[in-house]
Amino acid sequence: MRYIPNSPAEREEMLRAVGLERAEQLFDSIPADIRLDKPLQVPSALSEMELLEKFNRMAERNPAATRASFLGAGAYSHYAPTIIDHLISRSEFFTAYTPYQPEISQGTLQAIFEFQTLVCQLTGMEVANASMYDGSTALAEAVLMAERITRRKRVIVSSAVHPEYLAVADTYVQHYGIELERLEIDERTGRTSTDALSALDDKAAAIVIQSPNFFGCIEEVAAIAERAHAVGALLVVAVTESASFGILRSPGSCGADIAVAEGQSFGVPLSFGGPYVGLFATRDKYARQLPGRLVGEAFDKQGRRGFVLTLATREQHIRREKATSNICTNEGLIALAATIYMETMGRRGIEETARQCAQKAAYAARRISEIEGYSLPYSAPRFNEFVVRAPSNAGELLSRLASEKNITGGLALSRYYEGRDTDFLVCVTETNSRAEIDSLVEGLRSLAG
Amino acid sequence: MANVPEDLQYSKDHEWLRVEGDVAVIGITDYAQNSLGDVVYVELPKSGEKFEAHESFGSVESVKAVSEIFTPVSGEVLEVNESLADEPEKVNTDPYGAGWMIRMRMNNPGEVDSLLSAVEYEEFTSRETE
Amino acid sequence: MDSTNITKVTPHISHNEHLIFERSQGGRIGYMLPPLDVDETPLDELIPAELRRDDDLQGVPEVSEVDVVRHFTRISTWNYSIDLGMYPLGSCTMKYNSRLNEKVARITGFANLHPLASESDSQGALEVIYELQEYLSEITGLAGITLQPAAGAHGEMTGVMMIRAFIDARDGREESAKRRTMLIPDSAHGTNPASAMLAGFTVKAIRSTSEGFTDLEHLREMCAKGDVAGFMLTNPNTLGLFEKNIREICDIVHDAGGLVYMDGANMNALVGVARPGDMGVDVIHLNLHKTFSTPHGGGGPGCGPCCCTKELEPFLPVPRVVKEGDSFRLDFNRPQSIGRVKAFYGNFGMMVRALAYILTHGAEGLREVTEAAVLNARYIAQGLVSDYEKPFDAPPMHEVVFTDKRQSRKGVHTLDIAKRLIDYGFHPMTIYFPLIVQGAMLIEPTESVGRQELDQFIEAMRSIAREAIENPDLVIGAPHSTRIGRLDEAAAARKPVLRWKPKEAASAA
């Protein structure tokens, strides 16, 4: 096996050096009756050439990967500068472990410190951690953190949060005695209905919303923050499309207490759903309740600046069952990719990307709404996603669009919402050219007839 | 050798207690701060909270450890040492003075009698070290 | 030569790379987008001003592409990495990360595939998941499997939640409520108790014997209380020893109505040699980023598949990837499932790499890896036993624990030995874990180290043992060769600075 340095002869010598004759004896401490007495049912080794051929063949069976696409809903196609992949592929980054030895991990530690800072800047929050698995688990952890801070068990969650995020939150809280109550959607605006909030009382730990929400509508975050704070509850804001930070008022400046986001938009490949990176930020006063790792500034005896993992007493390896979370491995390398993205695009690029997304989505929405039979059911302002109501079954329409026009036109909402057969969600980013948008419009027009 | 002032009472959880009438001042011992290392954070209760004897009233954190702190006697918290929020290192540098943690009105000053004297505590810690 | 005469020597510029925010200069640009090709609508008509940012992204860096490349290249040189040398972190399994696996994961058909693409448009990706599931089931001897968890701790949470759901279904809610204790050895990873808490269990510790094994008497005593839902065991345990009584352990727990969870962090000692399913284990998580070599990347991403018995299969997270005829589909219709633990299907990119790893090795290669990893650890154990205290006599599997007992008499502690190892060009071992061993040094070489390098490591450790006697201050002051010295972690934790701020803001705060 070419990944094992020692030759068979060297291994023989080493075996003798430790007083053994056969490799099998290395496993003498495993009782014979539970040792495997036959080879694993795994094929024989493939060479590099054979392996590439096999994987290329499998990859060809994913035609959606090479088609013009208007799919969003929690995972987004954005431009990723070429240098990201080069830099994260440096051995020093991708073959390093968690930076437990700061003297020889300053590269990773400084990059995480920059990541934490950038997340604070974009979310408008005061402190951010070193990453969570993804946006969905970050949201679930935010709900648990709100319970820790307030010691209250009722959490009010908007129904316009990504359905998979809601499902993950349900799983995480099921043994915590936390009730997740749903807020309805205002069918006219597409925003979370705030009617039920008048019944809000001091039993509520938090209100949880997503903005832009799952249907692409921008929520009135500041107003909802006021309602939450009036009864001593926290506001948790989730963002699935981080490109929106470039143009929308930040959760922090709207009064959010915890902001979580999916950072995939920042230079991370779609990769069929992962690995992505969860952003998690809050107020300074809640820093000791944060889940996950934190990097802080520190100095050596000569006064030289460096960075270390800090406030570790919150974490599982020290506080065990009383830890703020069970998370250990996070998304280090993906957080690095997002950091490089944010720095390369920079102040102007993040803003321009967001502006292009909004403009192109507006153009697409207008063109689609002009087609006979199609309409846009929601009136609220949007960023780069919107719901379209089709004249016929949306799932069938989209699958014909794929097979006949080679366009992935969006997501049929029937995947998540029973009975919403004619609605689909369209996402437009800076990567969709006008020509692609026009083809989508033409395709929808021709298939409607 | 750890400093064990003679005029104080001690618990087996390594807290010290100074009796001032029916009020007890409580902190952790020199031995305790020494085995914890650099104290970086002290979590204390609020004034007015009530505790039973041997109940946890907070925690002391070093860089890589957390220790709960226990009330040697029962009572109500009158005052906490707010300055430890900014200068937790006082627990290391002056555990019996500026590093005090809470002042408590004792429910039953008789509980003090069950605590260790300086001599007894010194004996206790020397056994633990072995 | 008198070094004070060398006036031109200054630290290389790469040793003094600032934060990117300190490099930023207004007007620098590191990107270019195509011009907007649609008619522009006034922004106020799209998004009202009160919903838009008004801070103009103040503080976000403005740098050129060259700035970014130099910045990250420079700071990267401050990291140790597997590609540079041996990284003997016990329990972390720092093995070689193949470039081929990286290449495979970047094939457009995988990297650019949207998770909500239709099943018919993503058959290749579903096949990757399905095929990996089949091999991991075979390797663990457990039929049920999910690849959804994003890391080991996430897999643990999934597994213990499944145990809870299984007992709820078996005993009924009322009876099940009496079983809320999860037993965990005192030597366990901290994630075990933290994960058990997330599933609503009360954690009770099981002692280890002086030989380093689970104390069966204590286990029996705790199981006799009738409230035990399960036992979470790492095997080989965190001391690097195979729990030879594993069958009996499983019987004790099963007879008491509980289930056995195995933490698979050390599965690299068993692949191709023994299977948890054959030992009586009910559920296990694997760390693809340990056993199957997906890169650790400075702290992730991971992937923590969870494998289980047929009995537990109904409780696996949704959706499951299943095969029907020649095609693959997502099965959401699983009424007993614990639910979803993550959006979409898990860290797919890691699955592609792990599958490539398995296929590159084949059945024979996988076993060869296990043998080489155990042999390397055994070789180190033999090489260091004369200089360091080895607290347990049993032969180690893939990792071995030593202590600083002899060196600490001279005031040299485990931390000092670890830091001194840096001066010899090695990454330190895992230190002060497991918690039950005072001054623990847990060494795991993996199979990715050749004999010469093992010898160099052993020689470095022995040399440090000599220094601890002859010149302890040299060890206590280490490392001496790095860009920065030991950092004041206490000061950092007392007044945490967790983000950069502009100078004015920082001084005002």
Nearest CA in chain C to A333: C297
Distance from CA of A231 to the nearest CA of C (A): 24
Asked if C357 and C292 count as a contact pair (C-beta separation under 8 A), the reply is yes
Which residues in chain A touch residue C152, judged by CB atoms under 8 angstroms apart?
Answer: 328-329
Q: Inform me whether the pLDDT recorded for B128 exceeds 80.
A: no
Q: What is the DSSP code string of A222-272? A: HHHHHHHHHTT-EEEEEES-GGGGGTBPPHHHHT-SEEEEE-TTTT---GG
Which residues in chain C touch residue A265, judged by CB atoms under 8 angstroms apart?
Answer: none
Query: How far is C270 from C140, CA to CA, in rounded Å?
Result: 9
The model's confidence at residue C480, banded by pLDDT at 50, 70 and 90, is very high
Considering only CA atoms, which of A42, A103, A143, A155 is closest in space to residue A301?
A: A103
The model's confidence at residue C9, banded by pLDDT at 50, 70 and 90, is low
Specify the pLDDT at position C54: 96
The pair of three-digit structure tokens given for residue C478, joined into one six-digit string? 């280490």
Specify the pLDDT at position A448: 86
pLDDT digits (tens, 9 = 90+) for C124-152: 999 999 999 999 999 999 999 999 999 99
Whether C109 and chain A come into contact, CB under 8 Å, resolves to yes
Specify the pLDDT at position C15: 80
Considering only CA atoms, which of B129, B114, B126 is closest in space to residue B9?
A: B114
Secondary structure tally for chain C: helices H, strands E? 18, 12
**How many CA atoms lie within 13 Å of C144's alpha carbon, on the beta-carbon side?**
20
Nearest CA in chain B to A310: B63
Q: Inform me whether the pLDDT recorded for B1 exceeds 70.
A: no
Render the burial of C430-449: b for 16+ CB within 10 Å, e for the rest.
bbbbbbbbebbbbbbbbbbb
Specify the pLDDT at position C1: 44
Which residues in chain B touch residue A288, judged by CB atoms under 8 angstroms apart?
Answer: 41
Mean pLDDT over C365-375 rounds to 98
Order the strands of the C228-234 sheet from edge to edge.
C144-146, C306-308, C283-286, C259-264, C228-234, C181-185, C202-206
Asked if C172 and C322 count as a contact pair (C-beta separation under 8 A), the reply is no
Query: How far is C14 from C73, CA to CA, in rounded Å?
Result: 9
Which residues in chain A touch residue B66, judged by CB atoms under 8 angstroms apart?
Answer: 313, 318-319
| Intervals of chain A under pLDDT 50 | none
Whether A247 and chain C come into contact, CB under 8 Å, resolves to yes
Query: How far is A94 from A332, CA to CA, in rounded Å?
Result: 9
Which residues in chain B touch residue A290, judged by CB atoms under 8 angstroms apart?
Answer: none
CB distance B66–A312 less than 8 Å? no
Neighbours of chain B (3+ CB pairs under 8 A): A, C
The model's confidence at residue C164, banded by pLDDT at 50, 70 and 90, is very high
Angle (CA) C443 C400 C239, round 5°: 110
Which residues in chain C touch residue A40, judged by CB atoms under 8 angstroms apart?
Answer: 138-139, 271-272, 363, 366-367
Considering only CA atoms, which of A332, A342, A377, A367 is closest in space to residue A437?
A: A367
pTM of the model: 0.97
Query: A with B: how many residue pairs have Cβ under 8 Å apart?
Result: 14
Backbone angles phi, psi at A333, to 5 degrees: -70, -30
Which residues in chain B touch residue A323, judged by CB atoms under 8 angstroms apart?
Answer: none
Q: What is the DSSP code string of A361-376? A: HHHHHHHHHTSTT-B-
CB distance B65–A319 less than 8 Å? no
pLDDT digits (tens, 9 = 90+) for B52-111: 999 999 999 999 889 999 999 999 999 999 999 999 999 999 999 999 999 999 999 899
Total residues belonging to chain B: 130
Specify the pLDDT at position B129: 61
Mutate which of C494, C495, C497 to disrupt the B interface (most B C-beta within 10 Å)? C494
pLDDT digits (tens, 9 = 90+) for A77-121: 999 999 999 999 999 999 999 999 999 999 999 999 999 999 999
Query: How far is C365 from C368, CA to CA, in rounded Å?
Result: 5
Query: How far is C383 from C449, CA to CA, in rounded Å?
Result: 15
Query: How far is C242 from C433, CA to CA, in rounded Å?
Result: 17
Whether C56 and chain A come into contact, CB under 8 Å, resolves to yes
Specify the pLDDT at position C67: 97
CB distance C490–B38 less than 8 Å? yes
Does the bond joining C236 to the residue before it have cis omega, within 30 degrees of 0?
A: yes
Mutate which of A272, A318, A319, A403 to disrupt the C interface (most C C-beta within 10 Å)? A272
Indicate the burial class of B127 (C-beta count within 10 angstroms; 0-12, 13-18, 19 or more).
exposed
Distance from CA of C5 to the nearest CA of A (A): 23
Q: Inform me whether the pLDDT recorded for C105 exceeds 90.
A: yes
Specify the pLDDT at position C339: 97
The pair of three-digit structure tokens given for residue C60, joined into one six-digit string? 């976000």
pLDDT digits (tens, 9 = 90+) for C216-263: 999 999 999 999 999 999 999 999 999 999 999 999 999 999 999 999
Distance from CA of A429 to the nearest CA of C (A): 11
Distance from CA of B64 to the nearest CA of A (A): 6
